Amino acid sequence: MRHWLLAAIAFTASLSQSALAADMPAKAPRAAPLQAIYNWSGFYAGANIGYGWGHADADATATITAIGLGLNTGNNFITPGSGDASASSNGLLGGLQAGYNWQGGSWVYGLEGDFQATGQRDDGVFASTALLGATINGVVATSTVTNRTTYKLPWFGTARGRIGYAVDRWLLYATGGLAFGEIRADSTITTAFSAGVGTPPPAQLVSTRDVRAGWVVGAGVETAFATNWSVKAEYLHMDFGSIDQSFTTPAVASAFATISASGNLHARLTDDIGRIGINYKFQ
């Protein structure tokens, strides 16, 4: 009897321990360590390559003057003309950039400057024809002045602020500030006469070369693919203001009049660029 009693007590104790173990909460699994969030703060420098779509929104004027000397003595003609002389100066570009970022939470603030060399160029053509008030050998006397202008943007630079929102290794940003660059406008002015009027003067060459300052705005996306390296894609729109270029052709004495021309070219210069770049961030 005694042995049976001891066995019953032992069995009851075993059941109690099993019940207590079943009621205890399961041990929580160990949390995986959190990955470090990328920090965009610091100085960086890099290079870029892209393409530019420049536009010279130009209009030109020309006034052709014929002062009568013989055939039409006293009949003086002053004929103004105007028209479009716009051009799109497209081409490849490449350069260097450098800047500094400050990060607060997910927001990134920065300053960046860059310098670019470009192959952007294109031609704009304007022509104006005037009746000279006479008929020579059955041909109506006319004078035509043609202005062919080649626009170039050899180089430009920007100094911009940046503000962006970072999601770990990705950064979306807007940018804007100062743009400056060298604008070239090389014009060739030719004069042509209808048959019998006379020999036209030689072509006139007029060049404008100016460093212009304007403004720039844009946006981009950048991603870090290593501790110190990142790549970006960026769009910028720049406005360099406008230029004016005047011209005067030599006077030509014909059988019935002295003929000359003068005029002006006015062009507003803008540029849109898309580029990709790579940056190295210094620790």
CA dist 175 → 27, 114, 162, 206 (Å) = 52, 13, 4, 37
Q: What are the pLDDT digits (tens) for 208-262?
A: 999 999 999 999 999 999 889 999 999 999 999 999 999 999 888 877 788 889 9
Containing 23, the helix (H) or strand (E) segment is: helix 2-23
Contact 121, 91 (CB under 8 A): yes
Percent of the chain whose pLDDT exceeds 90: 65
Q: Are strands 90-104 and 252-253 parallel, antiparallel or unpaired?
A: unpaired
Q: Which of 147, 145, 146 is nearest to 261 (CA)?
A: 145
CA 46/CA 232 separation, integer angstroms: 10
Q: For residues 20 and 15, what is the distance between their CA atoms, to the nearest angstrom? A: 9
Cβ contact 71:255 at 8 Å: yes
Q: Which range, of 39-43, 131-135, 183-187, 272-276, averages the lowest pLDDT? A: 131-135
Q: Which residue has the tokens 């014909």?
A: 254
When pLDDT is cut at 50, 70 and 90, the band that residue 75 belongs to is low
Dihedrals φ, ψ of 3, to 5°?
-65, -40
8 Å CB contact between 97 and 281: no
User: Nearest Cα to 230, choosing from 112, 68, 140?
Assistant: 112
Nearest CA to 152 among 60, 244, 90, 85? 90
Q: How far is Cα 98 from Cα 125, in angstroms, rounded to an integer?
A: 39
Residue 249: Cβ-neighbour burial (10 angstroms; 0-12, 13-18, 19+): buried
CB within 8 A of 92, min separation 6: which ones? 49, 50, 51, 52, 118, 119
Give the per-residue SS3 of 72-90.
Answer: CCCCCEEEEEEEECCECCE
Q: Report the DSSP beta bridge partners of residue 22.
A: none
pLDDT digits (tens, 9 = 90+) for 159-209: 999 999 999 999 999 999 999 999 999 999 999 988 778 888 899 999 999
Buried-exposed string 168-195: b where 16+ CB fall within 10 A, e elsewhere: eeebebebbbebbbbbbbbbbbbbebbe
Q: Which region holds residue 177: left if phi is over 0, alpha if psi is between -120 and 50, else beta?
A: left
Which residues on neighbouring strands pair with residue 5, listed in sequence order? none
pLDDT per residue over 21-59, tens digit each?
Answer: 445 455 555 654 444 589 999 999 999 999 999 999 999
- Angstrom distance (rounded) from CA 62 to CA 265: 9
CB-CB neighbours of 275 under 10 Å: 22
